[in-house]
Structure 1
Amino acid sequence: MNLSSFTELVKRAKAIAIFCHHNADPDALGSSYGVRWICSNLAPSARADIIAVGGASSLSLQLLSELNIAISFLEECSPTDYDLFFMVDTNSFTQLSPYDEEIFSSTTPLIVIDHHAVKEEVKTRTSFSFIDPNATSTAELVFSLMESLPLPPPPMEVSLLLLAGIVFDTRRFAIASAKTFSVVAKLVDLGANYNLVLKALQTKVSYSERVARLKAAQRTQLYLVNDDLVVAVSHVGSYEASAARSLLEIGADAAFVVSEKDDAVRVSARCNSHFAEKTGMHLGVDVMEPLGKLIGGAGGGHSMAAGADGTGSAEYVISLLMELLRKKFSEKGLSFKPLK
């Protein structure tokens, strides 16, 4: 990693836009805050704005409130106002709609920091990238970047939000590596309080979200893979990620939940480690990425947690999903049939 090119890009910038994906989760927002702190040290006179396109998730806002940290971020911007772009925890331009085409076609330098496998169009557009699909969170990468630069120790609020990003994206260390624990230990040594972060991330399930979970269970269609793995497919009006997680909690090995609103659809996919190991299927690469293309949007994610968005009806998207699953399981020599 050539850090001299990174520091040169930041130091000569006068206005920096730090973009993160729609509905920015704690990893995206915490990592972006860490990147802004890096920029403030390398280029003190530059303006650096966090742009959470379309806003931050309810959990991210709850996290900031519980930790009593005030982060200023924009939901809209004019990309032409900036002379340096960052894409943080964001692996495709589509995730930055309506600015995707403008950012892609611009000649403004672009720095990408992400722990997802990024799209080829992003790779060819970048001026500098720090991408590691083996990292368990983007916050882990941002902290590693801080350590590699001649910077002072990050302040408490930065350490807290990076720790929160790691705890959130690893599902409280259900998915973690030796590197993850090493970074966490350093953040705790810097004063980040793990118990405080854990409390701040406790999900307060609203009435609407509870209803969505129950409706997902009520509408679920069940399928069997190789006679011992249960796949649940359902649809809701919102809270598709929460609904997918809840289907795993009540017994599914994999869950795919579609939400539809005003012709816009979102798909959330989750599976347990047993499903991932026995099928060898990567939800992000094998399912959500091709599904995103089929519905005119984008998709991707991790092996056990992924998503896609696009357009169409829930019924249509589920039909495409089912065709895709049948094809993928067949390619892997696995049976796939309705559970009766």
Structure 2
Amino acid sequence: MTDSGNLPYDEAQKLIEEADSITILSHLNPDPDAIGTALGIYNILKESKRKRVEVVNASNELPRYLDFLAGFEKIKTKMEYGKSLIIACDCANLERLGFDLKGRQILNIDHHRSNEGYGTLNVVLPEYASSSQVAFELFKKHYAISAKSAECLYAALLSDTRYFTTSSVTARVFEVAREMVEIGVDPARVAYHFTQRRSLASFRILQRALKSLKLYSDARIAVLYVTKEDIAATGATVPDMDGIVDYARSLATVEVAVFLMELKEGIRVSFRSKGIDVNVIAADFGGGGHKVAAGVTFKAGNLQEIIDTIVLKIQETGLKNGKEKT
């Protein structure tokens, strides 16, 4: 982990300046922090006009409402540069990047406590609100940050703080947001794209997820899920399901919310809490994340059996003697 008071500005610049080319990667099934951080760095380096730079994500589906961010249309699904420096964004482990990176130098930029420190240089600050905040602080010393670069980083910050409502929000977070606005970011423009561009499929899949809601442990645990059939019937994509878990967490009695998606590659699980450390729970199943937001993917298994296993683990870890409510 990096000391937030002593960021490796010079070491990061040295890695970048010594590279012949640069590939910027973000994790599979990227969220706005992953995409915004990657595009923010992409624009910063492209505008410096010193290196060949590509931005890549291995997923076939990206959140379409982020298409207003500069460089979104430049995101490729395959790497073209053979010996480039890898800049990994918002990714806790190598596997989630989706590429064979053996032998590559890697600048690892992240804020997940579960980050495995796989980089040549690891700039990982769990106390920061987003990976974009880490990137902004790291790059602004040696590189000019334009309005379009700042907009990408601001969008990522806005999303990962859930509109500045999470426990990770500090005075410094607001200071960083202020700096970005002073550079030229229009907060209303970013907010519009996040709040006024929902797809019809996202409403239809939300309806099905809410219908599945079940409460456990005196309504302190909430579980929702969608099946392959639900996804096919609604035409929803993974980005359309972003935020569904927060509906369950918003219930007054709920301390831990769980949302499961039955996908082709397995059953993807999102955990959210109001204080209980769900990173520990996710880690028990091979996942990870943050204290109040984490996730894991089960490559195989029965949906209901996985739900039962997860509920039992939550009860054993943070809740005792709970009874199911329906």
TM-score band, normalised by shorter chain? 0.7 to 0.9
Of the candidates 119, 129, 154, which is equivalent to residue 163 of structure 1? 154
Give the 3 Å change call, closer, same or farther, for CA 203–308 of structure 1 in structure 2: farther
Of the candidates 273, 297, 309, which is equivalent to residue 297 of structure 2? 309
Q: Is the 8 A contact 1:24 1:55 kept in 2?
A: no
Give, in angstroms, the shift of residue 68 of structure 1.
7.1
Q: Is the 8 A contact 1:140 1:162 kept in 2?
A: yes
Give unmatched runs, 5+ long, in structure 2: 1-6, 232-239
**1:137-156 equivalences in 2 (<5 Å):** 137-149=130-142, 151-152=143-144, 154-156=145-147
What letter is aligned with 1:202? T
Give the 3-state SS of the residue equivalent to 1:260 in structure 2: strand
Give, in angstroms, the shift of residue 240 of structure 1.
5.0
Give the 3 Å change call, closer, same or farther, for CA 39–118 of structure 1 in structure 2: farther
**Aligned: 1:115 with 2:111:** yes
- Cα distance in 1, alignment partners of residues 71 and 58 from structure 2: 20
- The corresponding residue for 2:316 is 327
Give unmatched runs, 5+ long, in structure 1: 294-298
- Cα distance in 1, alignment partners of residues 28 and 36 from structure 2: 14
**Aligned: 1:21 with 2:27:** yes
- Cα distance in 1, alignment partners of residues 265 and 60 from structure 2: 20
Give, in angstroms, the shift of residue 87 of structure 1.
1.0
Give the 3-state SS of the residue equivalent to 1:337 in structure 2: coil
Q: CA RMSD in A?
A: 2.4
Give the 3-state SS of the residue equivalent to 2:23 in structure 1: strand
- The corresponding residue for 2:45 is 39
Give the 3-state SS of the residue equivalent to 1:338 in structure 2: coil
Give the 3 Å change call, closer, same or farther, for CA 115–18 of structure 1 in structure 2: same
Give the 3 Å change call, closer, same or farther, for CA 136–261 of structure 1 in structure 2: same
Give, in angstroms, the shift of residue 336 of structure 1.
2.4
- Cα distance in 2, alignment partners of residues 38 and 129 from structure 1: 19
**1:241-320 equivalences in 2 (<5 Å):** 241-249=242-250, 251=252, 253=254, 254-262=256-264, 264-271=266-273, 273=274, 276=275, 281-283=276-278, 285-291=279-285, 293=286, 299-312=287-300, 313-320=302-309
Give, in angstroms, the shift of residue 55 of structure 1.
4.2
**Aligned: 1:7 with 2:13:** yes
**Aligned: 1:235 with 2:225:** yes
**Aligned: 1:339 with 2:325:** yes
Of the candidates 74, 77, 80, which is equivalent to residue 75 of structure 1? 77
- The corresponding residue for 1:85 is 86
Q: Is the 8 A contact 1:232 1:255 kept in 2?
A: yes
Q: Is the 8 A contact 1:29 1:56 kept in 2?
A: no
Give the 3-state SS of the residue equivalent to 1:233 in structure 2: strand
- Cα distance in 2, alignment partners of residues 335 and 148 from structure 1: 53
Give the 3-state SS of the residue equivalent to 1:81 in structure 2: coil
Greater relative contact order: 1 or 2 (C-alpha under 8 angstroms, separation 6 or more)? 2
- The corresponding residue for 1:214 is 207
Give, in angstroms, the shift of residue 13 of structure 1.
0.9
- Cα distance in 1, alignment partners of residues 79 and 71 from structure 2: 23
Q: Tell me the TM-score normalised to structure 1 length.
A: 0.81
Q: What is the total number of aligned residue pairs between the two structures?
A: 305
- Cα distance in 1, alignment partners of residues 305 and 156 from structure 2: 34
Q: Tell me the TM-score normalised to structure 2 length.
A: 0.84
Percent of aligned pairs with the same amino acid: 21
Give, in angstroms, the shift of residue 289 of structure 1.
2.1
Give, in angstroms, the shift of residue 203 of structure 1.
5.1
Give the 3-state SS of the residue equivalent to 2:140 in structure 1: helix
Give the 3-state SS of the residue equivalent to 2:159 in structure 1: helix
What letter is aligned with 1:207? L
What letter is aligned with 1:10? I
**Aligned: 1:62 with 2:73:** no
- Cα distance in 1, alignment partners of residues 131 and 43 from structure 2: 15
Give the 3-state SS of the residue equivalent to 1:336 in structure 2: coil
